[in-house]
Structure 1
Amino acid sequence: MLLDVSFAVDSNPLPVAAEVARAAEEVGFAALWTPETGHNGFLPLTLAAEHTSRISIGTAVAIAFPRSPMVTAQIAWDLAAFSGGRFILGLGTQVKAHIERRFSTPWDAPVGRLHDYILALRAIWQSWQTGERLNYRGRFYQHTLMTPFFSPGPIEHPNVPIYIAGVNSGLAQLAGELCDGFHAHPLNSAKYTAEVIRPQIAIGAAKAERDPSACAIAGSAFVITGHDAETRERVRGFVRQQISFYGSTPSYRAVLECHGWGDIGEQLSQLAAQQRWAEMPALVTPEMEATFAIEAEPDEVGAALRERYAGLLDRIGLYIPFIPGQMDDFWRKLAADLA
């Protein structure tokens, strides 16, 4: 497995992008990802590309539907060229409420729309690389005009990898059919990956007559670790909070139902609707905690991750912030252990 790292979701990565990127490459991470929550996911990657030479960089994930495929194609093309082919375009659908009410964008047939979106991206890139006429006519997107003045022209690394994020079977099948990778949601488990994600990717791959291994699976693991009991308990509280938050989202209910915890998901949703956030972690049982998180001593985390996810995930990141200069020895050992 490759060890990846992400910028923190709760802060602006722009001021620290160069520093974090240089440190992540030096420590040995395989890829550096940017989320898109309160800040733009593409901007920090320009700085990351400028200050590194080996580490892959990518969005995990950029929200697709509020952007025209042409807009996304252009920024991805520029980042692919500027990084020397190290850029990975990670796309996500988000959920209906955010698309309609936060972005004021139509929400309909998200899997079908994303399928069309990916084909549109590749048609645009093909036109830029070869000079062929742009004539993409899909169900949701039509791109039929490209003049030389507006074409960036060919680049050295035109095959921009596309990863998509998802939880349920529809997006996993789409990843297997069309994509280079699939970002599994942090609320995940070895059982759900083995019994749902991987088989659905294989179904999609078979539809396109592809090898399922052409679609890498990237996961994120909750880890409870620390050199003292106080640290471990603080981390445990955070992990339980995150599990309860994600478990309250109806779109992610299938993960809980896979383990027979659908009723707990319903209770979490009811508490979330009432904004009773502080009560939610108490519903996370020790069994749920052990299923969705790994608990190990710092020098044993790599072995624990391999034991649980070997053969299931191709890439993995931890739900622990990477801060340059802190825990560097831990991260170096973990990268080496997973490699």
Structure 2
Amino acid sequence: MRYGCFLSEPQGPDAIAGLRDQIAQAVADGFTSAWLSNIFGLDAITALTAAGVQAPPIELGTAVVPTYPRHPAVLAQQAMTANAALGGRFALGIGLSHKMVIENMFGYSFERPGRHMKEYLDILIPASRGEQVDYQGETLKANVRLTAPGAGFPVLVAALGPRMLKLAGTVADGTVLWMTGPKTVAEHVAPTITAAAAEAGRQAPRIVCALPISVTDDPAATVERANEIFKIYGQLPSYRAMLDREGAAGPGDVAIVGDEDTVLARLEELKRAGVTDFVGSVFANRERTRSLLIGAAKG
């Protein structure tokens, strides 16, 4: 299992410099990848490109870019450009986001999100390879061929439900998970996406599992802290479904929390479940937790 890290979004006018320094530190610490979320601050693709060209080489990925506000060919063009600038080190993680964001904030319809993602990938995947795309879907269409350099980067889909996992396994390179514990990975995510990839004649998919993590001698208080910080994810339907599958009352129950031995055992459990890349979101006891992750990454 490979180890990556989440990049925290720096604030202020020197945000890109701050991101560059985080990427450089991730390389020095021995991580194989670094990931940035795309929420309401920095545009993740632009920021990773601007910071990444100034930093030592490491895989840089988005976790994740919402699909609805961007036409798939436009996103493919942007990602190809980023991949070219980064020397082939870019990974595009995409996701549906959530109804409250897409409808209430952006004003798009969130009707039939599974249909949307299928049509999106039907355009995005060939477009990102520089192929001619002639496509007419129910909600998306394209007649375009991109000529930008940087074709051929991995596309990972934030897939949680069975339909999305099958889609990701069939046409994409894997999935990026959040708030998904080892039981759910082992019994639901890994077998579903792996079987779909095998049936489509594709190589085994990447399963990038991101979870909150903290090494601590007070696990009860730290779990409660995780419940406070990540409360919203226990209320969003897609993540709530994953927590329910895991038998978790809240986000703190899937956070990786405990002393060094406990945390290492839980990381090993994720590896056995089928996780190919673990990405830690350190939310407390930063130095102690990062020290453990560095040791695991250097392994």
Name the TM tier (shorter chain).
Answer: 0.7 to 0.9
Q: Does 1:56 align with 2:59?
A: yes
Partners of 1:82 and 1:224 in 2: CA distance: 34
For the pair 1:250 / 2:237, whether they are aligned, the reply is yes
- The answer to whether 1:122 aligns with 2:125 is yes
2:30 counterpart residue number? 28
Q: Choose from 268, 285, 290 the match for 1:306.
A: 268
Distance 1:183 1:221 in 2: 11
Q: Which residue does 2:152 correspond to in 1? A: 159
Give the whole-Å Cα distance in 1 for the aligned partners of 2:285 and 2:70: 31
Q: In the alignment, what sits opposite 2:176?
A: 183
TM-score normalized with structure 2 length: 0.86
Count of paired positions: 296
Asked if 2 retains the 8 angstrom alpha-carbon contact of 1:162 and 1:180, the reply is yes
For 1:82 and 1:328, how far apart are their aligned partners in 2?
A: 29
Q: Does 1:65 align with 2:68?
A: yes
Query: Structure 1's 19 and 68: CA in aligned 2 closer, same or farther, altered over 3 A?
Result: same
**Structure 2 vs 1, CA of residues 295 and 176 (structure 1 numbering), >3 Å: closer, same or farther?**
same
Shift of 1:323: 11
Equivalents in 2 of 1:323, 1:85: separation in Å? 34
C-alpha contact (below 8 Å) 1:14/1:43 kept by paired residues: no
- Percent identity over the alignment is 25
Residue 137 of structure 1 pairs with residue 136 of structure 2: yes
Query: Quick one: structure 1 residues 93 and 29, their matched pair in 2 at CA, closer, same or farther if it must change by over 3 Å?
Result: same
SS in 1 for 2:158: strand
User: Residues 69 and 94 from structure 1, CA distance in 2 versus in 1: closer, same or farther, beyond 3 angstroms?
Assistant: same
1:124 maps to a residue whose letter is A
**2:286 pairs with 1:316:** no
Kept in 1, the 8 Å contact 2:207–2:275? The answer is yes
- The 8 Å contact of residues 10 and 18 in structure 2, kept in 1 or not, is answered as no
**Cα offset for 1:189?**
1.5
Partner residue of 1:169 out of 132, 146, 162? 162
Q: CA offset at residue 84 of structure 1?
A: 0.9
Q: 1:299 to 1:21 in 2, by over 3 A?
A: farther
CA distance in 2, matches of 1:97, 1:143: 27
Contact 2:215 2:285 in 1 (8 A): no
Instruction: Pick the structure with greater CA Rg.
Output: 1
1:218 aligned partner, one-letter code = V
Unaligned runs of 5+ in 1: 265-283
Of the candidates 210, 223, 229, which is equivalent to residue 220 of structure 1?
210
Q: For the Cα contact (< 8 Å) 2:165–2:193, is it kept in 1?
A: yes
Q: Rate the CA distance shift 1:5–1:322 in 2: closer, same or farther, 3 A.
A: farther
Cα distance, 1:204 vs. partner?
2.6
C-alpha distance in structure 2 between counterparts of 1:174 and 1:74, whole Å: 22
Of stretches 4-13 and 14-23 in structure 1, the one that deviates more from structure 2 is: 4-13
Structure 1 residues 22, 208: closer, same or farther in 2, change over 3 A? same
CA contact under 8 A between 2:33 and 2:61: conserved in structure 1? Answer: yes
CA distance in 2, matches of 1:51, 1:65: 30
Supply the distance in 1 between the matched residues of 2:133 and 2:245 (Cα, whole angstroms): 44
**Is the 8 Å Cα contact of residues 10 and 38 (structure 1) preserved in structure 2?**
no
- CA displacement, residues 154-209 of structure 1 (integer Å, 9 cap, x when unaligned): x3x52111001132222111111111120112x22211111111222134325523
AA matched with 2:222:
V
The answer to whether 1:204 aligns with 2:203 is no
Q: Give the match for residue 224 of structure 2.
A: 237
Confirm or deny: 8 A CA contact 1:299 1:333 kept in the other structure: no
- Which one has a larger percent helix, Structure 1 or Structure 2? 1
Moved more, 242-251 or 174-183: 242-251
Describe the shift of the 1:308–1:63 C-alpha distance in structure 2 as closer, same or farther (beyond 3 A): closer
- Give 1:144 deviation, angstroms: 1.6
Matches within 5 A, 1:8-27: 8=8, 13-27=15-29
Q: Give the drift of 1:242.
A: 4.7
Q: Which runs of 5+ in 2 are unaligned?
A: none
Give the match for residue 335 of structure 1.
Answer: 297
SS at match of 1:37: coil
Give, in angstroms, the shift of residue 34 of structure 1.
1.0
Does the 8 Å CA contact 1:20/1:323 hold for their aligned counterparts? Answer: no
